[in-house]
Amino acid sequence: MPRIKTDILVIGAGSGGLSVAAGASQMGASVVLLEGHKMGGDCLNYGCVPSKALIAAADAAWDQSHTAQFGVADQIPQVDYGAAMQHVSDVIARIAPVDSQERFEGLGVQVIRAYGRFVSPTEVQAGETVITARRIVIATGSSPLVPPIPGLDRVPYLTNETLFDLRDRPEHLLIIGGGPIGMEMAQAHVRLGCKVTVIEGAKALGKDDPEMAGVVLDALRAEGVEIAEDALAAEIRGQAGAIEVEVKDGRLFKGSHLLMAVGRKADTDKLDLEVAGIETTKTGIKVDDSLRTTNRRAYAIGDIAGGLQFTHVAGYHAGVVIRSILFGLPSKARTGHIPWATYTDPELAQVGLTEAQARDQYRDRVEVVRFDYDENDRAIAQRNTTGSIKVMVIRGRPVGATIVGAQAGELIGLWALALANNLKMSQIAAMVAPYPTIGEINKRAAGVYFSPRLFDNPMIKQVVGFVQKWLP
């Protein structure tokens, strides 16, 4: 049986694993990378990339039918669903070379296309090869969670791993799960000409600020998405083209296709973690603040580490473990500065504490400042005035920001920077944003924080009056 010794073994070629492999190899470590399925992992093949490509196609269709407000006649879009899905495939193919085996071999990484399983605390077998490594990074990610709903095993259903294989447009898409994936795909499909019903057991977008999430849900309902909340699926029945979902309170929903979007589960089943002395939790692998597992030679990053499940988190984790593994320096992962976004229209983005979390933690010490899109000149010019920003502030420093509206996913980056570096609101206010841009919303929010301190302060007025009286 072939044997390999290496400095670093990376299991999983998704976002986090690829970042570790590329960085470590280019800085002089010997690296072996295992991938039993597709290079690029879920993000490239089934998640972020294809979903945003489909959203772009849906937005193009929507824009065609909503131009009259600009003096251009509305047009009924002629949607070719199969061509839209081919666009998705083309986008994946365009990006794939960046994550390809050939590219990483060119960087000096030894790539083995096989799943890995532990055969000892320091050894992993992949196919017929056994790899011994000084440090092991587990980055196998997650896969769609499919709950044991009665009848589901007898009905054809889609997940994000099969949805983008469709070429015929669903007549009526039922989506179980009202989280970000469910809501993004709901809006995309209704804009592409499908009927869509979202069936959510609790509250749609329930992990987000309810006020701001409500703006998104109102927009989706206005476009024709049926959103059923407090609708826990109790039984699924039917066949391809005729599927029924009955919920616990007796409501019945009928459609032609079913998409399961209720969450994700960590991919630990192929690893034989117990052989390596690696403990797991309900959400993934047990790790400490440095992302080290209960096996001191092994780390877990990304979705499998059991925390926030975002591609950018996996990339961030990669930087944390590289610092520790390559340089022997203390390095800890934090979560307070990690942003996320839901790419509906309007977009919804968050970093740090929500208003409810801030009030719960800081009580009456928190100040919540807000600024609405309908006061931004660029938003008005583009007739895109739905939305607002809320910033939670403690003693002059932001501790969280929530944005709903156009380009919210882009705007939230400034507040992520502020939280990562403990910036003050005065530093945000000192920024000069080009006019007219949507980005001015961030600066104006900081201005709202200082306005009462400057304009409603009697002492300030007295000082100004004194200076004006005596200034030569």
Please enumerate, by residue number, every residue annotated as part of a binding site for NAD(+). 177-184, 200, 263
From the annotation, which residues make up the binding site?
A: 52, 116, 140-142, 177-184, 200, 263, 303
Q: What is the largest CA-CA distance in the chain?
A: 91
Run of H or E including 117: strand 116-120
Which residues participate in the annotated binding site for FAD? 52, 116, 140-142, 303
CA distance linking residue 381 with residue 50, whole number of Å: 31
Give the rounded distance of the alpha carbon of 135 from its chain centre.
28
- How far apart (Å, rounded) are the C-alpha atoms in residues 365 and 203? 29
CA distance 423 to 434: 21
Alpha-carbon gap, residue 377 to 368, rounded angstroms:
23
Nearest to 298 by CA among 8, 6, 4, 5: 8
Other beta carbons within 10 angstroms of residue 336's beta carbon come to 12
Residue type, 190: V
Per-residue tokens: 344:
């509906």
Q: How many CA atoms lie less than 13 Å away from 212 in the CB half-sphere?
A: 30
Task: For 218, list phi and psi in degrees, rounded to 5.
Answer: -60, -40
Residue 170 is given by DSSP the state P
Do the strands 172-176 and 123-126 form a parallel or antiparallel pair, or are they unpaired? unpaired
* CB burial readout 297-319, b (16+ within 10 A) else e: bbbbbbbbbbbebbbbbbbbbbb
DSSP symbol at 285: B
